Amino acid sequence: MKMYLISDNVDTLTGMRLAGVDGVVVHERQELREALENAMDDKNVGIILLTEKFGREFPDLIDEIKLMRTMPLLIEIPDRHGTGRKKDFITSYVNEAIGLKL
């Protein structure tokens, strides 16, 4: 299985290509939908990496795919501008998920 990147900027794609990850740069909703469909149809792709911008701009599209499909796995990654999440993201996520304060 291989990873595939769908990015909103060329810099992130260039960095991932240096690590051996293929991908595409898109900017519009329809381009994103087409890139996701193409990647999901490729049986060799096990993980689709998406820059966080898509999760913020098109949450309905991303959530729909995450809920309807088990493969490939969709993972949102920070781009060259850093993450849009707060510093204690993981701690608060665990707190919400299992109800324990860490």
Q: What is the CATH number of the domain that holds 11?
A: 3.40.50.10580
Residue range(s) defining the domain that contains residue 68: 2-98
101, pLDDT greater than 70: no
pLDDT of residue 24: 92
Q: What is the pTM of this model?
A: 0.73
Tally the domains of the chain. Answer: 1
26, pLDDT greater than 60: yes
CA–CA distance from 9 to each of 3, 83, 93 (Å)? 17, 14, 27
User: What is the C-alpha separation between 42 and 95, in angstroms, rounded?
Assistant: 36
